[in-house]
Structure 1
């Protein structure tokens, strides 16, 4: 299947757009934690012009559904919904954590990935992923928001070596020091839209798309947004 998928993500400090046209990829990435709203649409225009296609030529619009910054997740899904509505496109939400796992495989070849994004409030957004032979990923356990100390207390060593990715490992290095998992460091901190597009291809092939009005973010901690400190998101 030669899919044409536009992917956007603003769930973390990384502002990212990618356009997959069959085996050809056009992408833009920039760490811009406070400028997502200024940069994301120009990035979309750039990749579409580079590929020589319009939104109406696409098969689907994929987006980083979170978890991540509450503000960033809302910006990304809002822009994605606007673009998809205007072009009458189905949407595909992809986990931020799964996208970072795919990023780790793309950059390092890791097939077992432990993802931890700094969630503030002494917690991380956490998940472990195992790559399958077809290139898709399965989640070991569930995505969750958790204090690193709880992971140290409950996760034991297993037969795998886990690539550690995401901002949470640095933010809570002291807390994670006693974690029993065999693990290796990687330079991968953020999701990128090219990995969202890659994962969205599997969902499109399965018919797992949603209408604009049914697309939704994943916060994991949406019940405690009132506890955020000013300027932290």
Structure 2
């Protein structure tokens, strides 16, 4: 099984996953250049692997939560490529990437994934990890870090709100973690093989709150003229 995976929920990343293993990967931590760099990066990944879009079995995209503009870039690209190549498109919550990474790093029991939501808030979800892997318990939500449960956490929210969040004790610093397309592709492989359940979702953006950009009152139906 060969999948192309894309995520632009925090930074941007892309990966080719063959039978659950990364074949080619790319990422950038820049948050303002998704539209310029993501499509060329996907093109390079395919060329480096010596495959074309027609060789893929499907496309996977992280649906967020994430900032409006950046998240739209990855989703729009994934939809366009899947449509052009005639391939199925699946969505996965981007926070699941960090849950998988935490499980692989040896976390056990209940924990949080928290990423930067700006406006002095975090996007977060609660997971549990055991011998069967990591599973979502509740979320995702957006809230102030001080309102989250007192559980060990991973994700960039730690770096921003160290006074409110407790870092999971792992062999590496989880406060620099951001979602990556490679892990989403690995999760998708397991889901498509019937080994994981409840992972896939519709490939639609998971914003969790209203956009700052609003239609002016005079342009709304029934608005002032």
Q: TM-score range by the shorter chain?
A: 0.7 to 0.9
Structure 2: where are the runs of 5+ without partners?
A: 215-225
Residues 131-150 of structure 1 aligned to structure 2 (within 5 Å):
131=129, 133=131, 135=133, 137-150=134-147
How many residues are aligned here? 206
Q: Tell me the secondary structure at the aligned position of residue 41 of structure 1.
A: helix
Task: Tell me the residue number matched to 2:17.
Answer: 20
Task: Tell me the residue number matched to 1:57.
Answer: 55
Residues 95-114 of structure 1 aligned to structure 2 (within 5 Å):
95-106=93-104, 108-112=105-109, 113-114=111-112
Cα displacement string for residues 11-31 of structure 1 (whole angstroms, at most 9, x for unaligned residues): 11x221100122452111121
Residue 168 to residue 24, structure 1, CA distance change in 2 (3 Å): closer
What RMSD, in angstroms, separates the aligned Cα atoms of the two structures? Answer: 2.5
Mapped to 1, the partners of 2:168 and 2:49 lie a distance apart of 39
Greater helix proportion: 1
Mapped to 2, the partners of 1:85 and 1:40 lie a distance apart of 17
Task: Tell me the residue number matched to 1:231.
Answer: none
CA-CA distance at 1:227 after TM superposition: 7.5
Question: Does 1:171 pair with 2:160?
Answer: yes
Mapped to 1, the partners of 2:101 and 2:130 lie a distance apart of 15
Cα displacement string for residues 52-91 of structure 1 (whole angstroms, at most 9, x for unaligned residues): 1111111110011000111111111000000000001111
Q: Tell me the secondary structure at the aligned position of residue 61 of structure 2.
A: strand
Cα displacement string for residues 110-169 of structure 1 (whole angstroms, at most 9, x for unaligned residues): 34542111212221111122235454x311222111112222xxx356xxxx3x222211
Preserved CA contact (<8 Å) 2:158 2:175: no
Task: Tell me the residue number matched to 2:212.
Answer: 226
Mapped to 2, the partners of 1:38 and 1:67 lie a distance apart of 21
Choose which of 86, 100, 124 in structure 2 pairs with 1:126.
Answer: 124
Preserved CA contact (<8 Å) 1:103 1:192: no
Structure 1 range deviating more: 28-37 or 191-200: 28-37
Question: Does 1:36 pair with 2:47?
Answer: no
CA-CA distance at 1:191 after TM superposition: 0.8
Choose which of 47, 56, 78 in structure 1 pairs with 2:45.
Answer: 47
Mapped to 2, the partners of 1:59 and 1:133 lie a distance apart of 29
Q: Tell me the secondary structure at the aligned position of residue 211 of structure 2.
A: helix
Structure 1: where are the runs of 5+ without partners?
A: 229-233
TM-score between the two structures when normalised by the length of structure 2: 0.81
Q: Tell me the secondary structure at the aligned position of residue 62 of structure 1.
A: strand
Structure 1 range deviating more: 137-146 or 58-67: 137-146
Q: Tell me the secondary structure at the aligned position of residue 119 of structure 1.
A: strand
Mapped to 2, the partners of 1:63 and 1:144 lie a distance apart of 19
